[in-house]
Chains A and B, each alone.
Chain A
Amino acid sequence: NAGVTQTPKFRILKIGQSMTLQCTQDMNHNYMYWYRQDPGMGLKLIYYSVGAGITDKGEVPNGYNVSRSTTEDFPLRLELAAPSQTSVYFCASSRGGGETQYFGPGTRLLVL
């Protein structure tokens, strides 16, 4: 089992560019999450999904979009990158609500 995988590991974007951060899990988990981690701050929830076809906003959703067409994949889309989106992004999954979350290795994004 690979668990939760994320690509890319690192990316530099110019202001205004768009990109998709990929997240895949092979544990057949229903719940998936996207977090961002800024220096000195706690992880913040961007979006989450309780199953294929169902997504909902977290604490900091502005500037991002998600989709969940399959159980395995939960991509995060940045449409118009801004310097404020420079951060480390973590994807996570859990079997159910309130259960242990398994994290991917993270994607470091720099927007210049």
Chain B
Amino acid sequence: KNEVEQSPQNLTAQEGEFITINCSYSVGISALHWLQQHPGGGIVSLFMLSSGKKKHGRLIATINIQEKHSSLHITASHPRDSAVYICAVGGTASKLTFGTGTRLQVTL
């Protein structure tokens, strides 16, 4: 069993839809990261959180430490949100363990 599991693996949505991507992990962590990998391959960090909820524009990330679960929400989705979203968890020495990603396609 992978230490970090994401669901769904693939997601297609229409423009304007509310999107949720889930991440479950099985190890103790110090922080959880959400990253976005663009179709061209570049990776950017969206959020780092260790408790509660963070919001940036149309993106919201939540984490439940007791349940070892995090969600990434996208409100009013847009085709430019099409990307692979990656969950990663950090333990000691800042090493990250990555999920395999959720590929999101938003259509008009």
The reply to whether B94 and A42 contact each other, CB–CB distance below 8 Å, is no
Q: A42-B101, A45-B95, A94-B94 are in contact. Are A106 and B42 (CB under 8 A)?
A: yes
Instruction: Name the CB-closest residue of B to A42.
Output: B98
Q: Please measure, in the bound complex, the distance between the C-alpha atom of A106 and the C-alpha atom of B37, giving whole angstroms.
A: 11
Does B76 interact with chain A (Cβ within 8 Å)? Answer: no
- B residues 42-80 in Cβ contact with A at 8 Å: 42-45, 48
Categorize the interface residue count of chain B: 20 to 34
Tell me if B100 and A98 are in contact (CB < 8 A). no
List the A residue with the shortest CB-CB distance to B50: A98
- Residues of chain B within 8 A (CB-CB) of A43 are 86, 88, 96, 98
Query: Given the complex, which residues of A lie within 8 Å of B97, measured CB to CB?
Result: 42
Q: Is the interface of B mostly helix, strand, loop or mixed?
A: strand
CA distance A94 to B41 in the complex (A): 20
Cross-chain contact B42 with A41 (CB below 8 angstroms)? no
Structural contact, B45 and A102, CB atoms closer than 8 A: yes
Given A42-B4, A42-B100, A43-B86, A106 and B95 contact (CB-CB distance below 8 Å): no
Q: Is the CB of B100 within 8 A of A100?
A: no
| Bound-state Cα–Cα, A39 to B108, Å | 28
- The verdict on B26 contacting chain A, using a C-beta distance below 8 Å, is no
Residues of B within 8 A of A56 (CB): 93
Contacts of B93 in A (CB 8 A): 48, 50, 56, 97
Q: Is A40 an interface residue (CB 8 A)?
A: yes
In the bound complex, what is the Cα–Cα distance between A94 and B96 (angstroms)? 12
Interface residues of B (CB under 8 A from A): 2, 4, 30-31, 33, 35, 41-45, 48, 86, 88, 90, 93-101
Q: 3 closest A-B pairs (Cβ-Cβ)?
A: A97-B94, A42-B98, A103-B43
Subset of 10 A-B contacts with CB under 8 Å: A42-B2, A42-B97, A43-B88, A43-B96, A48-B94, A56-B93, A92-B43, A98-B31, A100-B45, A103-B44
